[in-house]
Structure 1
């Protein structure tokens, strides 16, 4: 609050007109200073919303076979020997969890790529730890693992919502629920998880309030930024009995722009030190719920998010039909204020969809966005996503389009692109 005092000597200089002019100038100066102050504060608040230590980069998915949560307690002559024996014991236990055949420790060790240390305590003669073991898929895959083709989901954006202490958050701070999802090894899951980092502007777009939005236009803009077909919303509600004491967690799996319920479960942690382990197990159980939903055919992308307005046109046509009088009265018989438009929606194409590879020059990020926008704007395109991104070179996108490559090429030529075909692919240039 800014207080200003005007001295009486400024009220009259050379007559009433001069006094009024002086007061008016002083008022304008005060107003300008207030506006500048508000602008400075507003700019600081905008910067403060995106700065700070936030965002956790997800682990790169590996095709290797990983087993977590192996607990060992080994004693030996020295701490180093106990640690080595603990690692060997963890490898044997992990191999048993995978259902592998009986093999010597040396043979199992030859298939191990690395040992992941969750927690460990090394004493003079004792080693206590929680470990994870990663097996090389090329070597261990012949003994363990299911063979055959696996049905995978469409790319799904993950929006992990944490409710703790009466506050909902996603990426506003580095939360334990976000970290658990970032460290989840999703290579063995049929769900194609798209996990944002959560830094910068992502924390402004992907918030807990976003899960309650129903606007398809808003969701389509958000999902297009991450090349995702739909969204998964895993909720975690943490209730602490007292500071440093037991923690009760309620976890709920939801998906889609309508926040559809899939399942829920509860877990408990004895203290803050056990919270990370509980959340890791919760992510695995959440993945199981999404696996079951995919197998049951429930985890399908919303067609209003992936099609180029065709489903919306069909829905509007059905609504128009329902609003028509049941007796079949002509449009002219209706009152003037509720006369429906006479134009009919364009017929929905029934041509089979084909997958087409499109090559395009990508000197910078703007060129990539322009090419994707042009292809997605073609009628009949169901989806377009980059398969190979090379900034400064030639990128490749995969396009699912009704009518095949000829229809896509014709539509792009109409937009001003130069299109050449060869080798079962299209190449587009400006």
Structure 2
């Protein structure tokens, strides 16, 4: 009589086959019973962008120092990082370039607002680290010869698209490309970035398919949702040689509803551990591309996105002339049907909601902006939609009048005003 013997591997595979068949049967039964379906906007997604204060940030400073103790070595490492960061900041932002002026340790320490530890190794007598140094803009700007404010762009909505492994993603999941833009300090940039956090309905509105849309009506709805005047699309394409090996990135800067090309470059990260540094470097380079495009006039808001009705002044005058002189109505006598209003007075313009973005370095700047808007004739109400100290706050203004008149009134008060579609951006 023959006996069938199963090896351990055969039993293992058959048991898993039986388990898989049972799981499939349960899945089919669950579908027939009507399972709970997770909504597309649910799940763990979205990275809140950091508040940008306009301070100068220098990252990637490498230090390797020794000391009498671990604490002494770390203190010396931070002092060395401040000196190296000051040299690097001067080369990129100083008036004359070259070597930075020598500053004593006390002056440098007073200029530094924060030291960011990117990576560190601490030994009994040695400190090896990669640090970032943030310089206070108010205290450092005088040494760099920077006075006043730099002209900035109109509010630009950013859609960071990542292509990796044949899949395109924006805010559907948390990606390293989204994180790199969320951690970028936008305060020292000439570009006024509008950075969604990627949560809620952002994953539905802002997708890779949005780049191929040309409908101005749809774009206007999306831009109004985020209080932006136009859109930019920084695109990253990542390819890996092998798991854990070098990562090649191709980065492209695009702009506008017509997906216009601005510039492109390539970078390589030796490993997954170096990928965040490569992406951070790519963000700074893309910001430089967009800043250059702004200086060349290539980032002006697309006029086709402005849905405000255009009036022909000559046609209006012709219609008024054809009506003839305005008939006056005696006091206490009702006007006849179809007759013009008494005295030819025009009907007041209906009130509309206007979005006003205010650069708010502190609470006093927000109060000053709200007071300036309230002081304009025709403004019926001002409410805050969002408050960002050190960034840009958004006001919801009820105004009966022309948007250009509101902008002119604010300019008369000394504000720098950028006009968008049913939106203004003001700063001192």
Please state if 1:390 is matched with 2:354: no
Cα deviation for residue 78 of structure 1 reads: 2.2
Q: CA separation of 1:124/1:202 partners in 2, compared to 1, >3 Å: closer, same or farther?
A: same
Residue range with higher mean Cα deviation, 215-224 or 105-114: 105-114
CA distance in 1, matches of 2:404, 2:183: 42
Correspondence 1:272-291 to 2 at 5 A = 272-291=272-291
2:6 corresponding residue in structure 1: none
Correspondence 1:324-339 to 2 at 5 A = none
Correspondence 1:136-285 to 2 at 5 A = 136-285=136-285
CA distance in 2, matches of 1:213, 1:145: 44
Cα deviation for residue 255 of structure 1 reads: 0.7
Correspondence 1:287-326 to 2 at 5 A = 287-310=287-310
Cα deviation for residue 50 of structure 1 reads: 1.3
SS of the residue aligned with 1:115? strand
User: Using CA pairs below 8 Å that are at least 6 residues apart, which structure has the higher relative contact order?
Assistant: 2
CA distance in 2, matches of 1:153, 1:407: 18
Please state if 1:91 is matched with 2:105: no
CA distance in 2, matches of 1:216, 1:403: 22
Cα deviation for residue 250 of structure 1 reads: 0.2
1:404 corresponding residue in structure 2: 405
1:375 corresponding residue in structure 2: 352
SS of the residue aligned with 1:251? strand
CA distance in 2, matches of 1:170, 1:386: 25
Please state if 1:44 is matched with 2:45: no
Gaps of 5+ in 1: 1-33, 315-343, 348-372, 377-382, 409-422, 425-430
CA distance in 2, matches of 1:88, 1:261: 43
Deviation by residue 1:122-158 (Cα, 9 ceiling, x = unmatched): 1222212111111122222211253344221000001
Deviation by residue 1:334-383 (Cα, 9 ceiling, x = unmatched): xxxxxxxxxx9989xxxxxxxxxxxxxxxxxxxxxxxxx9526xxxxxx7
Q: CA separation of 1:103/1:252 partners in 2, compared to 1, >3 Å: closer, same or farther?
A: same
Whether the aligned pair in 2 keeps the contact of 1:247 and 1:270 (CA below 8 Å) is yes
With the length of structure 1 as denominator, give the TM-score of the two structures.
0.66
Please state if 1:70 is matched with 2:64: no
CA distance in 1, matches of 2:231, 2:259: 9
Q: CA separation of 1:406/1:163 partners in 2, compared to 1, >3 Å: closer, same or farther?
A: closer
Q: CA separation of 1:108/1:268 partners in 2, compared to 1, >3 Å: closer, same or farther?
A: same
CA distance in 1, matches of 2:357, 2:53: 20
CA distance in 1, matches of 2:88, 2:407: 52
SS of the residue aligned with 2:65? strand
Whether the aligned pair in 2 keeps the contact of 1:250 and 1:264 (CA below 8 Å) is yes
CA distance in 1, matches of 2:47, 2:88: 30
Residue range with higher mean Cα deviation, 246-255 or 204-213: 204-213
SS of the residue aligned with 1:254? strand
Deviation by residue 1:95-124 (Cα, 9 ceiling, x = unmatched): 112224211112211221110111111122
Q: How many residues align?
A: 310
CA-based RMSD of the aligned residues comes to 3.3
Cα deviation for residue 77 of structure 1 reads: 2.5
Whether the aligned pair in 2 keeps the contact of 1:268 and 1:278 (CA below 8 Å) is yes
Q: CA separation of 1:202/1:345 partners in 2, compared to 1, >3 Å: closer, same or farther?
A: farther
With the length of structure 2 as denominator, give the TM-score of the two structures.
0.66
Whether the aligned pair in 2 keeps the contact of 1:386 and 1:398 (CA below 8 Å) is no
Q: CA separation of 1:148/1:390 partners in 2, compared to 1, >3 Å: closer, same or farther?
A: closer
Gaps of 5+ in 2: 1-27, 91-99, 318-349, 359-369, 371-382, 387-393, 415-428
Whether the aligned pair in 2 keeps the contact of 1:114 and 1:133 (CA below 8 Å) is yes
Deviation by residue 1:214-244 (Cα, 9 ceiling, x = unmatched): 1111110000010000111000000000011
Correspondence 1:113-128 to 2 at 5 A = 113-128=113-128
CA distance in 1, matches of 2:216, 2:316: 21
